[in-house]
Amino acid sequence: MVIVDLQHVTYRYPMTEQSALEDVSLHIEEGEFVAVIGPNGAGKSTLCYTVAGFIPHFFKGELEGTVEVAGVESRQASLEQRVRSVGLVFQNPFNQISGAKYTVFEEIAFGLENLGVSRAEMPARVEQVMALTGITDLAERSPYALSGGQQQRVALASILVMEPKVLVLDEPTSQLDPVGTREVFGVIRNMALRGMTVLMVEHKLEWVAAFADRVIALENGRILAEGTPAEVLTDERLLEHHFGFSRYTLAAREGRKEALWPPDRRLPVTLDEAETGFREGLRRP
Amino acid sequence: MNIEVEDLHFSYPGGVEALRGITLRIEGGELVAMVGQNGSGKTTLVKHFNGLLQPSRGCVRVGDWDTRTVSVARLASRVGYVFQNPDDQLFCKTVAEEVAFGPRNLGYAPEKVEQLVRRALAWTGLTGREGTNPYDLSPTWRKMVALAAVLSMDTPVVIFDEPTTGQDWQSVARMARVIAMLREEGKTVITITHDMDFCAENFTRVIALGGGQVLLDGPADEVLGEAEILAQTFVEPPQLVRLARRLGWKETPLTIPVFLDACRRSVRKEDGADGAERRFDT
Amino acid sequence: MRERLSFYIQRHSPIHRLNPFTKLTLAFALVLISFFSPWYWTALCLILLVIFPLAIIGRVGREFFAAALRLLVPVTGFIFLMQSLFLPGGETVLFRFWFLRVTLESVARAFLISMRIFGMVSSFILFLLTTHPSELMTDLTRRGLPGTVAYVIISTLQILPQMQAKAQTIIAAQRSRGLAVEGSFIRRVRALVPLVGPLVFGSLVEVEERAIAIEARAFSATGPKTSYREIDDTPFDRTVRWLMVALVVLSLAARFFG
């Protein structure tokens, strides 16, 4: 079942002349993990805001085309509907802390309060997402006194507790150190395994290759390439447009010129693929 | 210009001991990367290099200056420091003014300031945007302005805090070019980074910190090969090094040409006679 | 980063258990009574017989008296001195010194004013020490304070320490660019521009991001909201509040008709 459906979406922010998105069509199936890559300024965050309904409800400007999430056209959707269908987590963990609450537990419950969820229902739901994101121990801490990785997991839990159908992640680890990155990706992988539909913007191609069912390469507000990680992350057009490749892909691409990488094998996007290919390429009959 | 650190201890007010006895020497012209998880002491250590922090015990010398006896404003003529978030320092109405702020503070003559500004803008790809308001630029370009604003001070030592965070491929490449130019001019470059591939390709010496102490310090290819010790401070070796380990190699290739060389050697060895000497023993 | 972002001290005491609105009413009532009451010793009596005992019952005596000593005693002392010396009028001259003429009446007036100020500030210190800010806001929101107003108040309280940290980073960044922050007054004022600019711009960016973040959590949803924190409002609370209102009215009446 298609859960996110964008048809010919073009969007311009107020007081700008160039479109941030230009004729973008995107369909996401329920349970699919879609990654979005692209240089800065390509329109990745704009795409996130559009799917999450912040465009056109928070950012004004000109939106053309249709955006449908869980069967509801986003222009018609109320805030409650939007929040219950799409959860948005973005880069800076610190700015996602509401500032309204003094403990992690209450911070997570904040969304439930706003949705009018009964008080009796809250503890179980909050505890469940805390367990899911590995922050049970932090329940009574101040959300401000945490590391970046912990704060980002609080942000994730605060969104997950509202049980959205789609999770939109805008570079969720770009501000984190390796420990924090691993913690947050661990939670995301966990959610994906449980069948959550995810749209994730990410620069770290190795993680994209490991997680995504499908990759969308965005440039200048347009979709440049779309397909499986293996297809998109080795697409020559990405190099021409300065997206970059992972070192695995680049090394194999160079090695292929002198048959260090098997000429008939497609370029690798993960460590495992690179290992297998180079083992084969370096073995001489 | 040398930086000498002798038995450096530092505690934050409130008692957390962030540095626990660090001794090291950085020679003029070295390219040094500091790696380690947050809280390992990287930032605390480099903040001693330009006097923003003062040792609780031990001392830090930049050239012949002891950082305890020289003001930060004066040390700024020897050590440039690019902060992680460009928005923490940009305040001028135009890119050119912003970039001229540092060298003017150092008291350089107007002609020299102009020349330094022009050079810094050229290095960072900002030529032609002199009159732009930095806040009209994208965050990626604001980062370049912040970088240019320190490069224009023409200091013998330049420190970068997380230069690649949130940057795309193209601006990481631009950053790499800037580092290469600084190396050509014989400057000392010290970078804090979590990006191990960037670290491998651009730095010759790597210092891994953990728990306020130096865990590893040496040539990049030695340090980045020590996967077990790096894991203590939650650093994962660069992609090519991990691949080399998977292939069972002893080498630690840091760049694609080095990696391919190792591939060629491996193939020659296989071609060169007895199949008994298999490279892949597992 | 500091864990504690308000004056609130978590203890178990009868005062802590009071409804926050009751405590707020109590604080205001004490102030109003001490200002309205025609009886000269009201303020002093309230301080000694109400506020001090409440601080001890509330088990925040140590913190309360520390704050009083550090902040209140010097401030009220100063006010008392200035008022005694400079309040005009009065017959009974206690002593003269150079051009100053200190009368019994001016000392008496100064004492009254100082005690009122002491009472006012100390009753609010007591209030802040024993009331959790988010409980207060939750309760006030329930009583009809717009949610946005409550949010702005409470998030400002929380964000202030963060702003301070950011200001420190900006100062460090600009000093690293050779900005001298020490030295003459003019120099320091000039050094403000490079500090204030990034602080203001940074805050604007953060405000937008935070607005998105709280919208993503249905902050401006129009349906009825609930609250995880349950705040008791007992008959005792209501009695205390009405009693306070009555006392304020009484002291007003005493002033005008007494």
- Which of B2-11, B202-211, C85-94, C193-202 is predicted with the least confidence, judged by mean pLDDT? C85-94
Q: Which residues contact A3 (CB under 8 A, 6 or more apart)?
A: A28, A29, A30, A69, A70, A165, A166, A197
Which of C206, C225, C229 shows the shortest C-beta gap to A116? C225
E strand or H helix that includes residue C257: helix C235-257
pLDDT beyond 80 at B270: no
Residue C140, pLDDT > 90, answer no
d(C-alpha B206, C-alpha A202), whole Å: 27
Contact B242, B235 (CB under 8 A): no
Q: What pLDDT score does B278 carry?
A: 44
Within 8 A of A283 by CB-CB distance, chain B residues are 270, 280
Highest mean pLDDT among A223-237, C104-118, C201-215: A223-237
Low-confidence ranges of chain A (pLDDT < 70): 284-285
Domains of chain A in start order, with CATH, are 1-80+166-176+190-238 (3.40.50.300), 86-163 (no CATH), 246-285 (no CATH)
* pLDDT class of B272 with cuts at 50, 70, 90: low
Residues B164 and B181 in one domain: yes
Among A240, A183, A229, CA closest to A36: A229
B180: pLDDT confidence band, cut at 50, 70 and 90?
very high
Q: Which amino acid is at A215?
A: V
Q: What is the pLDDT of residue A284?
A: 67
Q: How far apart are CA A235 and CA A213, in angstroms?
A: 16
B12: contact with C, CB 8 A cutoff: no
Same domain for B147 and B68: yes
- Say yes or no: A78 contacts chain C, CB-CB below 8 A: yes
Q: pLDDT band at C83, cuts 50/70/90?
A: confident
Tell me if B279 is assigned to some domain.
no
Does B257 map to a domain? yes
Distance separating alpha carbons of residues B31 and B185, to the nearest angstrom: 12
Interface residue A247 vs chain B (CB under 8 A):
yes
- B163 interaction partners in chain A (CB closer than 8 Å): none
Going by C-alpha positions, the residue among C169, C78, C147 that lies closest to residue C118 is C78
3-state secondary structure of C258: coil
For residue C105, the model assigns a pLDDT of 86
User: Does B208 share its domain with B256?
Assistant: no
- Look at B1-5, B137-141, C4-8, C58-62 and tell me which has the smallest mean pLDDT: C4-8
Q: Could you tell me if residue B59 is inside a domain?
A: yes
B165 and B123 inside one domain: yes
Give the CATH number for residue B85. 3.40.50.300
- Does B243 sit within 8 Å of A275, measured CB to CB? yes
| B40 and B17 assigned to the same domain | yes
Q: What does the pLDDT read at residue B282?
A: 39
Range B201-222 average pLDDT = 96
Read off the pLDDT band of B142 (50, 70, 90).
Answer: very high
Dmax (CA) for chain B in angstroms is: 71
Average pLDDT on B38-58 reads 94
Task: Answer whether residue B97 shows pLDDT above 50.
Answer: yes
Mean pLDDT of B99-103: 96
Type of residue at B279:
R
Strands B3-11 vs B57-62: parallel, antiparallel or unpaired: antiparallel
CB contact, 8 Å: A117 with chain C? Answer: yes
Q: How many domains does chain B have?
A: 2
Please indicate, yes or no, whether residues B267 and B214 belong to a single structural domain of this protein: no
Show which of residues 86-105 on chain A sit within 8 Å of chain C, judged by CB atoms.
Answer: 87-90, 92, 94-102, 105
Q: Give the closest of C173, C179, C201 to B105, CB-based.
A: C179
Among B residues 148-187, those touching chain C with beta carbons less than 8 Å apart:
149-150, 153
Looking at the complex, does the CB of residue B49 fall below 8 Å from at least one CB of chain C? no
> What length does chain A have?
285
User: Is the CB of B165 less than 8 angstroms away from the CB of A174?
Assistant: yes
pLDDT digits (tens, 9 = 90+) for C52-76: 999 999 999 999 999 888 888 888 9
Check C228 against A155: CB less than 8 A apart: no
Residues of chain A found within 8 Å of residue B260, distances taken between Cβ atoms:
251, 254-255, 258, 260
Select, from the ranges B154-158, C63-67, C71-75, C231-235, the one with the highest average predicted confidence (pLDDT): B154-158
Q: Any idea how long chain B is? A: 282
Asked whether residue B252 falls in the same domain as residue B172, the answer is no
Q: Which residues of B touch C196 (CB under 8 A)?
A: 91
Q: How many residues does chain C have?
A: 258
Q: Which residue has the tokens 């009071």?
A: C18
CB A61 within 8 A of CB A12: yes
- Tokens read off for B34: 């500091």
Per-residue CA distances from A171 to A168, A176, A205, A254, B225 (Å):
10, 10, 12, 29, 29
Residues B61 and B19 in one domain: yes
Inspect the interface and report whether the beta carbons of B239 and A182 lie closer than 8 Å. Answer: no
Give the pLDDT of residue C26.
95
Output the pLDDT for position B280. Answer: 46
Regarding whether B250 and B226 lie in a shared domain, the answer is no
- Please tell me whether residues B191 and B257 are part of one structural domain: no
In a domain, B281, yes or no: no
Q: What is the pLDDT of residue C59?
A: 93
Helices (H), chain B: 42-49, 72-75, 95-105, 110-123, 139-151, 169-184, 196-202, 220-223, 227-232, 239-246, 256-271
Name the percent of chain C lying above pLDDT 90.
Answer: 41
pLDDT at position A285: 59
Q: Are A179 and B247 inside 8 Å of each other by CB?
A: no
Whether B249 contacts B262, CB under 8 Å: yes
pLDDT in tens, C148-168: 888 888 888 777 778 888 899
pTM: 0.86
**CA-based nearest distance C233→chain A, Å:** 17
Distance from CA of B166 to the nearest CA of A (A): 6
| Chain C contact set for A145 (CB, 8 A) | 1-3
Would you say residue B280 lies in a domain?
no
Identify the residue with better confidence: C185 or C50: C50
Q: What is the pLDDT of residue B281?
A: 41
Cβ atoms of A255 and A249 closer than 8 Å: no
Whether B157 is in a domain gets the answer: yes
Please give the average per-residue pLDDT across B159-165, as a whole number: 94
Amino acid at the residue A227? G
- pLDDT (mean) for B89-110: 95
Taking alpha carbons only, the member of B221, B217, B206 closest to residue B32 is B206
Q: State which residues form the domain around B215.
A: 3-235
Closest-CA distance, C6 to chain B, in angstroms, reads 18
How distant is the Cα of C7 from the closest Cα of chain A, in angstroms? Answer: 13
Note the pLDDT of residue C6.
Answer: 63
Residue A151 in contact with residue A133, Cβ under 8 Å?
no
The residue ranking higher by pLDDT, B109 or C136, is B109
Q: Is the pLDDT of residue B90 over 70?
A: yes
